[in-house]
Amino acid sequence: MDITLRLAWRNLWRQPRRTWLTIGAMVFSDVLLIFMISLQFGMYGLMIDNTLRIFSGHIQVQAPGYNDDQKMRQAVPDVRPLAAELRSDLGSETIAARGKAFGLASSKERSYGIGVYGVEPAFEPHVSNIPGLVDQGRYLGDIDAYEIVIGSVLARNLRVAVGDELTLLGSGLDGSFAAAVLEVVGTFDSGVQDIDRNIGEMPLGAFQEIFFMNGAGHQVVVMAPSLDEVPALQSRVEALVAGRDGLVVRDWDALEPGLKQAIEADMSSAFFMYGILVILVAFSVLNTQLMSVLERTHEFGVVMALGMKPARLGGLVMLETALMGLIGLVLGALIGAAVTLWLGTQGYSVPGMEEMAAQFNLPARIYPETTWLSTLLGPTVVFVFTLLAAVYPALRLRRLHPVEAMRSA
């Protein structure tokens, strides 16, 4: 074994420049893969987290059909006691009840149709980012107060400021006229145009009174500690609400169907590119190894005439490739990890990306996420393909006849 290993190592450095060039291609693609993959993972994490943290949460308890139609009458009866019960049964504070209605919001000068959420001011901050994004005034306090926080764009459009009155007109649960005058106590700036322009939040108690909800609401939002714990938590919630008014439990994929699709689409197109990159590297390795095998045909013929088995020669070529690949893997992973770790603290942004990032609720500066998986995935795949590329040159040796081989060149 030592002799083969030593032979392989020496063979590798008979052409140092060629070897380094091939290793260079591997390292380059390794670094690129590590950077791209950790950037992508970082982005997906942010996309999911930011989108779900604005409103939908990880899990929602709703009336059947509400997810598709969002009709006022598809309500969850006694929504506040239900949320309180889930909080105590699951031992979690990240659960909050909500109601949702559409209405006409008017200031003295202007009117706009908006979506109004009735929320529990004490628990909403645990399930949503909005309370933390209040930039003027304050968030809601008393659950029965006639007050509202609205998006900053809506406030600008309505020309209202904190302290002004807003009239809300809509239809109640029984179809009757719902109307109220609310005090604007705060505005929030989420950076997402659609939300800042069309949404208001008010205390759930007042919401239920104004819209004649009779204690009902439309959703109980549940936040899991992390995305991985959602399925387990979902089945626990399902067990707790089973048989109650036919209530259904939806996970984030059902609540935000576009999100997973966007990620999957992005992922498959990205992995297609990675595939091309890896195959190109594999071909360059194939080229190198084929060349080094061909130029040693005479030499191989000699050692075979001396009694070396073709299989062992093939093993030698594979070992040479493996050594080269290993150097590439280690260097690539080290440099790649260093680059992403550095960018993980500095952040990464492409000029002009802000617009696109805002669409997916992303900040303009992205911090790649360096994990063992994102660091080792790309280099390992490159390594495996490098070995595969060496199979053909190695197999060629089996068809080598010592006499013919010694005659060539």
Partner 1 sequence: MKRRILLPLVLLALAGAAGAEEPDARQLVKNAIDHWRGLSSYTVMTMVIHRPDWERSMTMEAWTKGDDRALVRVIEPKKDRGNGTLTDDDSMWTYSPKVNRVIKVPSSMMGQSWMGSDFSNKDIARADDIIDQYDHTLVDTSVIDEIETYTIQSVPHEEAAVVWGKEVLTIRADYVVLEHAFYDQDGQVVKTLTSLDIGDMGGRTIATRQRMQKADEPGEWTEIAVLEVEYDLELRDSLFTLSNLRNPRD
Site residues (vs partner 1, CB under 8 A): 73, 104, 106, 110-113, 167, 169, 171, 174-177, 179-181
Q: CB of 97: closest distance to partner 1 in angstroms? A: 23
Q: CB of 191: closest distance to partner 1 in angstroms? A: 23
Q: Which of 278, 136, 149, 290 is nearest to 206 (CA)?
A: 149
- Measured CA to CA in angstroms, residue 276 lies from 27, 33, 391 at distances of 16, 11, 20
Nearer to partner 1 by C-beta: 113 or 275? 113
Residue 186 burial (CB < 10 Å; 0-12/13-18/19+)?
A: buried
Q: CB of 107: closest distance to partner 1 in angstroms? A: 10
Q: CB of 172: closest distance to partner 1 in angstroms? A: 9
Ramachandran sector of residue 57 (left: φ over 0; alpha: ψ -120 to 50; beta: rest)? left
Contacts of 329 (CB under 8 A, 6+ apart): 26, 30, 379, 380, 382, 383
Cα–Cα distance for residue pair 274/374, rounded to 1 Å: 13
Nearer to partner 1 by C-beta: 75 or 324? 75
Contact by Cβ (8 Å): 259, 47:
yes
Nearer to partner 1 by C-beta: 110 or 244? 110
**CB-hemisphere CA count at 13 Å for 390?**
22
Q: Which two tokens stand for residue 225?
A: 């500690």
Cα–Cα distance for residue pair 399/223, rounded to 1 Å: 64
Q: CB of 215: closest distance to partner 1 in angstroms? A: 17
Handedness of CA 384, 385, 387, 392 (dihedral sign): positive
Nearer to partner 1 by C-beta: 200 or 378? 200
Nearer to partner 1 by C-beta: 181 or 395? 181
Nearer to partner 1 by C-beta: 174 or 264? 174
Q: CB of 105: closest distance to partner 1 in angstroms? A: 9
Instruction: Please count the other Cβ atoms lying within 10 Å of the Cβ belonging to residue 309.
Output: 11
Nearer to partner 1 by C-beta: 120 or 147? 147
Q: CB of 189: closest distance to partner 1 in angstroms? A: 23
Nearer to partner 1 by C-beta: 104 or 311? 104
Q: CB of 179: closest distance to partner 1 in angstroms? A: 4
Q: CB of 75: closest distance to partner 1 in angstroms? A: 11
Cα–Cα distance for residue pair 267/37, rounded to 1 Å: 10
Residue 149 burial (CB < 10 Å; 0-12/13-18/19+)?
A: buried
Q: Is 50 helix (H, G, I), strand (E, B) or coil?
A: helix
Nearer to partner 1 by C-beta: 103 or 310? 103
Contact by Cβ (8 Å): 118, 217:
yes
